[in-house]
Structure 1
Amino acid sequence: MIEIDLDTVVTALRGAGCVFAEEEAALLTGAASSPAELELLVAQRISGIPLEHLLGWAEFRGLRVAVGPGVFVPRQRTGFLVEQAVRLGRSGSGGTRVVVDLCCGCGALGLAAATELARNGIRVHLTASDIEPAAVACARRNLAPLSAHVYQGDLFDPLPAALAGHVDILIANTPYVPTPMIARMPPEARDHEPRYALDGGPDGLDIVRRVATEAAAWLAPGGSVLVESSEEQADSAMEIFARHGLTAFVRESEALYATAVIGMRRRDL
């Protein structure tokens, strides 16, 4: 640990608007190998670079996942989507689940879901995909211990055809910020995360519509697709799933300020 006046770092970060200045100061100090490196890290953080990009990792549901420049940082509220996926994965018979992490980013959701299902004695065959090369490289690093396959491409396009009709859990952390609202996002997200991972189109549901169009063809009978949305978008997202033959419902977490919209393929289809 380098010698540094931690109070000075905290003051600088707090002055830049960092809400958790004390925690961030401790993390940056621990990551720096010299006072000069710490000074650079603090300056970069003050400029708006996400803390996780500077550290090279993010904590998500108790796991440390690698992230880097140009890669979407998983939000803590999105852990609720994982909770719902695990709940669905625990139900039903059989000891193996086919899980797809679509729009996977760094692969945090698939990693967390597979890890938690494994703790319940359920084996997971995990596949992930993302359109961004930097995200795919990051996901391959994070998911390598699970022997997961990570593909680069647009939504379902790169997935192996053999998965069609066999996916038990499809987690799709689609972008859902309406285009007009992008300008109001915090600079660390707006300026340092890929636009495709944030912008959901005029009403925020463009990618949800695209996922819903193909989801039923990839899901196994009784399989489910899960997306995150805002509370205001939930009813519209449910209607989108229903129009494509899925039984749709919403789950909410007040504690995490999170909304999950779930579409389930009927078992008799």
Structure 2
Amino acid sequence: MPPVSASSPSSPSPLSRDAVVRALRAAGCVFAEDEARLILAAARTPDELAAMVDRRVTGLPLELVLGWAEFRGLRITVEPGVFVPRRRTEFLVEQALAHAPDAAVVVDLCCGTGAVGAALAAAVGRVELHAADIDPAAVRCARRNVTAFGGQVHEGDLFEALPDSLRGRVGILAANVPYVPTGEVPLLPAEARDHEPHVALDGGPDGLDVLRRVAAEAPRWLAPGGCLVVETSERQAPKALDAFTRSGLSARLAVSEELYAHVVTGLSQASSRAPSTPV
């Protein structure tokens, strides 16, 4: 469709809500009314509004148009080339808090924007927070989101990025690992496929390569009573549970039908206990 401009004759006003809704709806945005409200609230000038609508109708994810995503009530900064936090991942945070609500040390592995770590720190309160990612762009973005919680962000491949002083001390190890099978990455929606780094999406031939690596190493980093929480898919859940069990963790699966989210939690055999809140 043609770009929306401040001087477009089809728009009675450059700030017309109806004009923005029409443009978004024509571009296939399912929640055009909600998106229009957010874009109108963010735009400071008519020209900025026109540019934001143009970027959205050409396929840029809404979160990149706005520069932020809402996650568990927090406004998380999102930058180009960084994985956008999904609402379903809020369920991972809920599961971590159910198992270790008083964690003293939290690690957000494969952190992307750092949304999971920030949300956990906001919920727990005073906590030693660390986040890590292999992607320099994600590390830069995460620093903008976790600094307010006193968090530190490290660059590197999984546990290699973390300080050795964390071994045996981590109360919550949250790892939102990539879990899309390599062959299915080209089938993802364009918003993910074209605008997010493949390293944050591609989980190897069956989607579980990174999950297996995290599960194998996690017991050396968890504190007594600590937990590892990882998001996966319904199809992959049985193999994910097996990977946790093989690493010596007591594994359990939690499912949110509302969010279509599947989270595997692993506890050390010596410290397994029921979650403190119902799931």
TM-score normalised by the chain length of structure 2: 0.90
> What percent identity do the matched residue pairs reach?
57
Partner Cα distance (1:144, 1:170) in 2? 19
Aligned to 1:38: 49
| Alignment partner of 2:37 out of 22, 26, 30 | 26
Taking the aligned partners of 1:136 and 1:205, their CA distance within structure 2 comes to: 23
Q: Unpaired segments of 5 or more residues in structure 1?
A: none
Q: Distance in 2 between matches of 1:102 and 1:209?
A: 14
Match of 1:152 among 150, 155, 165: 155
Aligned partner letter, 1:104: C
Match of 1:182 among 185, 192, 195: 185
The answer for the alignment partner of 1:133 in structure 2 is 136
TM-score by length of 1: 0.93
**Hey, what's the Cα distance between the residues in 2 that align with 1:158 and 1:28?**
37
* Secondary structure, counterpart of 1:106 in structure 2: coil
CA 1:214–1:96: 2 relative to 1, 3 Å: closer
2:232 pairs with 1:229 = yes
Residue of structure 2 in register with 1:211 after alignment: 214
Q: Secondary structure at the match of 2:195?
A: coil
1:156 aligned counterpart, secondary structure? helix
Q: Are residues 1:193 and 2:188 paired? A: no
Aligned residues, how many? 260
Alignment root-mean-square deviation, CA? 1.5
Opposite residue 58 of structure 2, the aligned amino acid is S
1:167 corresponds to which of 162, 167, 170: 170
Give per-residue Cα distances to partners, 1:173-207, cap 9 Å, x unaligned: 00111111111211111100111111111111011
Conservation of the 8 A alpha-carbon contact between 2:103 and 2:172: no
Unaligned runs of 5+ residues in structure 2 are 1-12, 273-279
Is 1:65 matched up with 2:107? Answer: no
Match of 1:5 in 2: 16
Query: Which of residues 111, 116, 121 in structure 1 aligns to 2:118?
Result: 111
Q: Is the Cα contact below 8 Å between 1:222 and 1:266 reproduced in 2?
A: no
Give, as a single letter, the amino acid of the residue that structure 2 aligns with 1:107: G
Partner AA of 1:76 in structure 2: R
Cα deviation for residue 268 of structure 1 reads 6.9
Contact preservation (8 Å) 2:110, 2:134:
yes
Tell me, in whole angstroms, the C-alpha distance in 2 between the residues paired with 1:197 and 1:96. 26
